[in-house]
Structure 1
Amino acid sequence: MCRGGSVGVCYGRNADDLPTPDKAVQLIQLHNIKYVRIYDSNIQVLKAFANTKIELMIGIPNSDLLAFSQFQSNADTWLKNSILPYYPATKISYITVGAEVTEAPANVSAMVVPAMHNVLTALKKTGLHKKIKVSSTHSLGVLSRSFPPSAGAFSSKHAHFLRPMLEFLAENQSPFMVNLYPYYAYRDSSTNVSLDYALFESSSEVIDPNTGLLYTNMFDAQIDAINFALTALNFRTIKIMVTETGWPSKGSPKETAATPDNAQTYNTNLIRHVINDTGTPAKPGDDIDVYIFSLFNENRKPGLESERNWGLFFPDQTSVYNLDFSGRAVDVGSTDGGNMTSSNGTSWCIASTSASEADLQHGLDWACGSGNVDCSAIQPSQPCFEPDNLESHASYAFNGYYQQNGATDIACSFGGLGVRTNKNPSYDNCVYTTFGLLVDGFICIPVTPEELKESLSGCRFSKGSSGCVILVV
């Protein structure tokens, strides 16, 4: 991702059917995601991110705030045992101390700032306080008023910990972290908030009567409500970071806006908005860093059906819908669970000539591993081994994944590493397949015999090893 604004993902693990951390990291690398938020300091997760150059935001949960706030030694021990053994191989940039404490019992919010100070002191003892920033995440409920944005104000009932926290953030140049969900604003007040306004699709503007500023989307309005709240307390220089935002792809019968189309539209427009450094009406051109919630659907989350369907990917690592993290051209209208309509004509997918060797290696490893591509042809002495270089081997693997997943745009994305071409890249005895799987020398098309028999009556069929159908000629 480019700087100014960056786009990351939240890697939640409240589920019992997720891939291992190693496989999750491979998926993250495949899509060229450079920033990830996790909600604890799980050792296996930290190890999985080692030497990936992915920047991590790690969390200290509310349940640990009492221990961290009471004794400096607890923060010191945690840093020594849970962070230092893995840093800097695992690149940690932020530590969040507590999460949405305004939504927790009152005594929890009283612990957060002392805990933040103790974590910072522990970092100072090891000389890491300039490299790892300390903050805490909030819900929009930290405000008593958010509309119009210029009237944004922090709730007085949270003043006992908010002002000391803001002083801490300003002194240490740490961001104010907030979780923003235009989806909830629309769901809970659809008579006052239009769906297009929530999805960055509005053709009309909402005018702030106090400032004359024009808003075309709910996200900017929520950001600026916080900007004005910070300014009202004379903390205008604190940077805002959005540590969660997103849109669910499925919900209960009453959650009619929770669809793959809307989720894709929101997140696609969000990414474009952020990487284009659009800023907000109150702070045009200011970069905003955001984390999309969430990497996977999480089946153990309580509440309405939508709570378990915020993921960009299913647990089997297939896409819930088409999303390009580069912010480049994306067909927002195609969201059939990651299985888009095949492109017109014959096409292949090859590796980009501008991709780095490290990125190509990650993509190759994923395609031949979790991507279930048969990569035997690029092994030594096999027909596609020569030329023996990453670009050639990755091209073969990328094309295999592309073809067996319907030859769709998303199947050739590989985080910007894949490029579609209409020129057949086959050479000598190295054959690049087209749409379908190559099974024992046959093209295996993923349809039923009945569908084929309608147009190919009289042909014989048998079942391929991958479960699709082989046309025997």
Structure 2
Amino acid sequence: MARGVEQLIFLISLLLTLLVLCRGSTIGVCYGRNADDLPTPDKVAQLVQQHKIKYLRIYDSSIQVLKAFANTGVELMIGITNSDLLPFSQFQSNVDTWLKNSVLPYYPAARITYITVGAEVTEGPGNASALVVPAMHNVLMALKKVGLHKKIKVSSTHSLGVLSRSFPPSAGAFNSSHAFFLKPMLEFLAENQSPFMIDIYPYYAYRDSPNNVSLDYALFESSSEVIDPNTGLLYTNMFDAQIDAIYFALMALNFRTIKVMVTETGWPSKGSSKEKAATPDNAQIYNTNLIRHVINNSGTPAKLGEELDVYIFSLFNENRKPGMESERNWGLFYPDQTSVYSLDFSGKGVLDVPANKSLTSFNGTTWCIASNNASQLDLQNALDWACGSGNVDCSAIQPSQPCFEPDTLVSHASYAFNSYYQQNGASDVACSFGGTGVKVNKDPSYDNCMYMITGSNKTAASNTTAIASTSSSAQNEACAWISSFLLMTCVVYFLSFEH
């Protein structure tokens, strides 16, 4: 009997562990509050729940925010500001008092899962870097005293400037001038199984170097690939390349177990005259493609299938942020809580384009097909991309399927191009494919091969399945199957004890 109880306990613990491991990649949002016109935290909590946002990052430990998000189920990443690093690094008692007064009274009703100690310290004035790791140790010690060190992870966020090289990704290397605090920090992260937190902005790379970085590559829209000459890995977007640069930098220092978490990324919807790419259309395209890319659990070229948690910056436009016009316009929502542009956080739906935006023919009157003037090589590359990274379901152009005949590259590419085009708002950029795609006004459907129309059910049945299953993967299916098996085993054991 005792042995049976031990086996049951083991199975239950294994099941709980597996459920955590099978969570998959997640999308969160940063709740910046550098503004004087934002709604109250209570209203923000309602907005976040309304849009089914399940992960939120705040930059401090505001009592009002923690109270507002208590019992909402939203997981919170809270922060210790750079201005608090000095007292937190010097005296353990300061951290103990902060935890006792500012965190514990609201936990676990407020589901705090991460504490960030400092933010992008290498970018700020002064020498706060040396204070980060001692403060992290003190925070961890405070958590250990109350038994929360395994439930709340401790880390710190960084800008991409922490690297001295990021291209090609395999040459990724940390800036040697930061080694004095990075090495002990990485040792801390590895020992405590905490993630390396990085803020990544392809927007800045494009804005500052448009001659070297294409807009399509920054927006996850490129139909061509950038090859890492050292590894042969192929990159279709800058986001993946920057993530892998971090991983290669970690591996170069022999830190192979530390996972990367993106604590900020996004695209501004408005900018100055020098920031022409800061538009609602581009912001919508970037964040929509980002969400689909992340929840697909495809990982990056160097870390295929690796889970990646990402936080989009930011929940609101923030009117008090200094700098260029774009700095105040990263929000998904205006302060009055209306959307700057539509965004589907599930990543499953067709891109919902606001009616007043300048995207072309969103009413379903245009299609995207392959150009007859395109080379066979360019068409094949574009087709491979659409059916791969583009997340298009290309089963309809397989042998014996309704769109296989005529068995030509142009015909197959046309079907795939149009599916991607319609799934991504029928915008001009969604029909580029490196110049191999062209828009037409005549429906290319023929016989039983039905071409998708945005906002319509007129499509091969497999397309609907493709959109709905974007977030699933073989890994998740395996996890679900094993979890179900273990659950049934636990039930059988339990029933055997009853009899």
TM-score when scaled to structure 2? 0.67
List alignment gaps of at least 5 residues for structure 1. 345-408, 410-419, 423-473
Match of 1:448 in 2: none
Task: Give me the whole-angstrom Cα distance separating, in 2, the residues matched to 1:233 and 1:333.
Answer: 45
The equivalent position to 1:309 in structure 2, one of 329, 332, 336, is 329
Could you tell me how far 1:278 is from its partner in structure 2?
1.1
3-state SS of paired residue (1:74): helix
2:343 corresponds in structure 1 to 323
Do residues 279 (structure 1) and 265 (structure 2) align? Answer: no
Whether the aligned pair in 2 keeps the contact of 1:297 and 1:314 (CA below 8 Å) is yes
Q: For 1:260-275, list aligned pairs within 5 A.
A: 260-275=280-295
Amino acid at match of 1:299: N
Residue 248 of structure 1 corresponds to which residue in structure 2?
Answer: 268
5 Å matches for 1:277-426? 277-331=297-351, 333-334=353-354, 336=356
- Distance, in Å, in 2 between the alignment partners of 1:338 and 1:31 is 25
Cα distance between partner residues in 1 of 2:241 and 2:355: 28
Equivalence for 2:443: none
Please state how far the C-alpha of 1:108 moved relative to its aligned partner: 0.2
| Structure 2 contact 117–155 (Cα < 8 Å) conserved | yes
Post-superposition offset of 1:236: 1.2
Deviation at 1:322, TM superposition (A): 1.0
| Count of residue pairs the alignment pairs up | 347
1:67 aligns to what?
87
- In structure 2, the CA distance between the partners of 1:245 and 1:335, relative to structure 1 (3 Å rule), is farther
Question: Tell me, what secondary structure is at the counterpart of 2:98?
Answer: helix
1:277-332 per-residue CA deviation (whole Å, 9 max, x = no partner) reads: 01000001101100000000000101100000000000011100010000012336
Check if 1:110 corresponds to 2:130: yes
Q: How does 1:418-437 map to 2 (within 5 A)?
A: none
Alpha-carbon separation, structure 1, partners of 2:355 and 2:211: 27
Amino acid at match of 2:224: S
Per the TM alignment, residue 57 of structure 1 is displaced from its structure 2 partner at its CA by 0.2
- CA-to-aligned-CA distance 1:9-66 (integer Å, 9 cap, x gap): 0000111111000001100000100000000011101000000110000000000000
Q: What do residues 252-288 of structure 1 show as CA deviations (whole Å, max 9, x unaligned)?
A: 0110000000000000000000000010000011011
Give the aligned partner of residue 171 of structure 2: 151
How far is 1:4 from its partner?
A: 1.1
Structure 1 residue identity aligned to 2:95: A
Which of 27, 41, 52 matches 1:7?
A: 27
Higher helix share: 2
Give the counterpart of 1:204 among 224, 249, 265.
224
SS at match of 1:274: helix
Describe the shift of the 1:341–1:209 C-alpha distance in structure 2 as closer, same or farther (beyond 3 A).
Answer: closer
Amino acid at match of 2:288: T
Could you tell me how far 1:3 is from its partner in structure 2? 2.9
CA RMSD in angstroms comes to: 2.2
- Match runs of 1:21-100 below 5 Å: 21-100=41-120
1:195-249 deviations in whole A, cap 9, x for unaligned?
0000000000000000000000000000000000000001011010000000000
Between the aligned partners of 1:155 and 1:301, the Cα distance in structure 2 is 28
Q: Secondary structure at the match of 1:160?
A: helix
One-letter amino acid of the structure 1 residue matched with residue 83 of structure 2:
S
**Contact 1:62/1:108 (8 A) holds in 2:** yes
Q: Which residue of 2 aligns with 1:160?
A: 180
- The C-alpha deviation readout for 1:338-361, integer Å capped at 9, x for no partner, is 9999989xxxxxxxxxxxxxxxxx
Q: State the match for 1:191 in structure 2.
A: 211
* Structure 2 residue 246 is the aligned partner of structure 1 residue 226: yes
Task: Give the direction of change, closer, same or farther, for the CA distance of 1:172–1:338 in structure 2 (3 Å limit).
Answer: farther
Letter aligned with residue 121 of structure 2:
V
Q: Helix, strand or coil for the counterpart of 1:83?
A: helix
Asked if 2 retains the 8 angstrom alpha-carbon contact of 1:320 and 1:337, the reply is no
Q: Is the partner of 1:9 in helix, strand or coil?
A: strand
Q: Is contact 2:269–2:280 with CA below 8 Å preserved after alignment?
A: yes
**Partner residue in 2 for 1:135:** 155
Is 1:125 equivalent to 2:161 in the alignment? no
| CA contact 1:318–1:338 (8 Å) conserved in 2 | no
Contact 2:29-2:57 within 8 A present in 1 as well: yes
Distance, in Å, in 1 between the alignment partners of 2:356 and 2:347 is 20
Give me the whole-angstrom Cα distance separating, in 2, the residues matched to 1:326 and 1:240.
22
**Post-superposition shift, 1:107?**
2.1
Distance, in Å, in 2 between the alignment partners of 1:82 and 1:339 is: 47
Whether the 8 Å CA contact 2:288–2:351 is kept in 1: the answer is: no
Deviations 1:85-111 (A, max 9, x none): 000000000000000011123520000
Instruction: Map Cα deviations across residues 100-125 of structure 1 (whole Å, 9 max, x no partner).
Output: 01112352000000000000000000
Q: Secondary structure of 1:107's match?
A: coil
Structure 2, unpaired ranges of 5+: 1-21, 365-424, 426-454, 458-499
